[in-house]
Structure 1
Amino acid sequence: MKLGAFSVSLTVNDIHKSKSFYEKLGFQDHGGDITQNWLIMKNENCIIGLFQGMFEKNILTFNPGWNENAENLESFTDVRELQKQLKEKGVKLQSEADESSEGPAYFTIEDPDGNQILIDQHR
């Protein structure tokens, strides 16, 4: 199962302090909009998202159709197909993508310990 680019989406209390901290660890701006309280940062192949006031817990994020530079992949498994495969394996979905739609969509699941996983296709 190919899930696409991986990142950790962190819920933060102060995005400016968090940005400064992760810059000290070698992370650099890679996208987002700090004025909207979200920022994507990268250190080599490691990607983190900083999100202030957007969700309660940290989230493991996968982006079908993208590589680690947010560049489109030539071929990938559509988010609706991934959702179908997981349902067939008995994985309970927290939210679902509309299977009759095309293009951008997402669904969420949780692992056995309650860690949220977002499968988020942007194209």
Structure 2
Amino acid sequence: MNLGCFSISLAVKDLAISKAFYEKIGFEVFAGDESHGFLIMKNGETNIGLFQGMFDKNILTFNPGWNQNAEDVEPFDDVRQLQKHFESQGIDIVVNSIAGDEGPSSFSVIDPDGNPILIDQHV
């Protein structure tokens, strides 16, 4: 089972201040839009999402079908397969945004320590 691209999505108080901080330690803007309240920062193979006003907690994020550069990969484990696997392991799905039989969709779970995990497929 391959969960795809990994990043941590940080709930930040001030996007500009957070951007400046992460740039000081070697990250560069990779994607996103400050006017929409989010940036994806990259340092080598490490991705950090900065999100202002979108959620309350930091989130572990996996993107099936993408590598660490947000490039499509084939083959990949579709989000629908992953959801079925999680459920078969007794993991509760806390948010289910699965739509259709293919393409972009997502679902979320919570780990035993209360950390949100988002499985968010874009392809």
The interval holding the TM-score normalised by the smaller chain is over 0.9
Cα RMSD of the aligned pairs, angstroms, is 1.0
Q: Gaps spanning 5+ residues in structure 1: where?
A: none
Q: Which moved more, 1:100-109 or 1:72-81?
A: 100-109
Given the two structures, how large is their TM-score scaled by the length of structure 2? Answer: 0.97
Look up the match of 1:20.
Answer: 20
Number of the residue aligned with 1:82: 82
Q: Give the C-alpha shift of residue 100 in structure 1.
A: 4.2
Per-residue CA shift, 1:35-69, capped at 9, x if unaligned?
A: 11100000001100000000000000000000000
Shift of 1:99: 6.2
Q: Does the 8 Å CA contact 1:9/1:49 hold for their aligned counterparts? A: yes
Residue equivalent to 1:62: 62
Shift of residue 98, structure 1, vs aligned partner: 3.0
Classify the secondary structure of the residue corresponding to 2:19: helix
**Residue by residue, what CA displacement relative to the aligned partner does 1:57-86 show, whole Å, maximum 9, x if unpaired?**
000000000000000002100000000011
TM-score (structure 1 length as normaliser): 0.97
Distance 1:89 1:67, change over 3 A: same
Give identity over the alignment, percent.
57
